[in-house]
Amino acid sequence: MPRHTRREGGRVTAQDQPPPAVAVFDALGAAYEKAFAHSEAHRASLEWLLGRLAPGSRVLDVGSGTGRPTARTLAAAGHGVLGIDVSPVMADLATRQVPDATFRCADIHEVSLDDGAFDAVCVYFSLLQMSRREQSDLVRRLVRALKPGGHMALATVPLDVEGVETVFMGQPVRATSFAAEDFTAMLTDAGLAVLAEENVMFAPALPEAAPEPHLFVGCRREATATAG
């Protein structure tokens, strides 16, 4: 997420509102994958998760994008992957690029998730266009969807920002996030034990892109968590 700017003064009209996530990621398509493909921290997070999965585990990938590297890495290791993405362009790309996984074009807030249905959940940078309340509520739902003892791998841009208007890869967006310590506190409150954290600076493969902070977190659902 690039440097942010906040609209000052004046009434913000509906025409001024940044487009929803579906429009943003439909527009980005494969360009998103190219910009972030060289993230070593992302691949390290996936390796962390793979080391904790039993053979043939069932994994939910929230905001699955083009399917690479997350779904492809997990499917190649023999796991059953269900990817959910709000963008039909992304879901189509993922289906073509990772035929061994299953992808659905849907809003994760509207997807029915059975309790304990998954051995692991991945949430890589897919919370940033939600409010803090929406992020917290969704993480709690995802914890319930995990089997007790199951694992969750997440990534975010750890900045203390709320409802900030910015430009991401040429697309206007409204972004909300938490400072790193507040993000991990939110995960703990949701019933997760934080087992691993990596804070890195990452520069997307884009002209004049400045390095931005990325936080990768590896968690386990506590066996006694209710995540209510």
42 assigned to some structural domain: yes
> What is the pLDDT, as a whole number, of residue 46?
98
Flag whether 9 is in a domain: no
CA dist 140 and 177 (Å) reads 16
Q: What angle do CA 207, 211, 215 make, to 5 degrees?
A: 135
The total of structural domains in the chain comes to: 1
Q: Is 3 inside a domain boundary?
A: no
Question: So what's the pLDDT on residue 165?
Answer: 84
The pLDDT tens digits for 153-197 are 999 999 999 988 876 666 667 889 999 999 999 999 999 999 999
What is the CATH classification number for the domain harbouring 104? 3.40.50.150
State how far the Cα of 36 lies from the Cα of 33, in Å rounded to an integer: 5
pLDDT at 27 over 70: no
**Pairing mode of beta strands 58-62, 118-124:** parallel
Beta carbons of 96 and 72 less than 8 angstroms apart: no
Helix 180-189 with 132-145: angle, nearest 10 deg: 40
C-beta neighbour count of 161 within 10 angstroms: 18
Token pair for residue 183?
């993000």
- Can you read off the two tokens belonging to residue 29? 């398509």
User: For the sheet containing 80-85, what is the strand order?
Assistant: 102-105, 80-85, 58-62, 118-124, 146-156, 212-221, 192-202
- Are the CB atoms for 114 and 85 separated by under 8 Å? no
pLDDT at 120 over 70: yes
Give me the domain span that covers residue 193: 17-221
Q: Phi and psi at residue 191, in whole multiples of 5°?
A: 105, 20
The verdict on residue 29 lying in a domain is yes
Quickly count: other Cβ atoms within 10 Å of residue 80's Cβ: 16
Q: Which of 114, 125, 112 is nearest to 63 (CA)?
A: 125
pLDDT digits (tens, 9 = 90+) for 193-221: 999 999 999 888 877 777 899 999 999 99
Tokens of 53: 């999965």
Does the residue 125 lie in any domain?
Answer: yes
Residue 55 within a domain:
yes
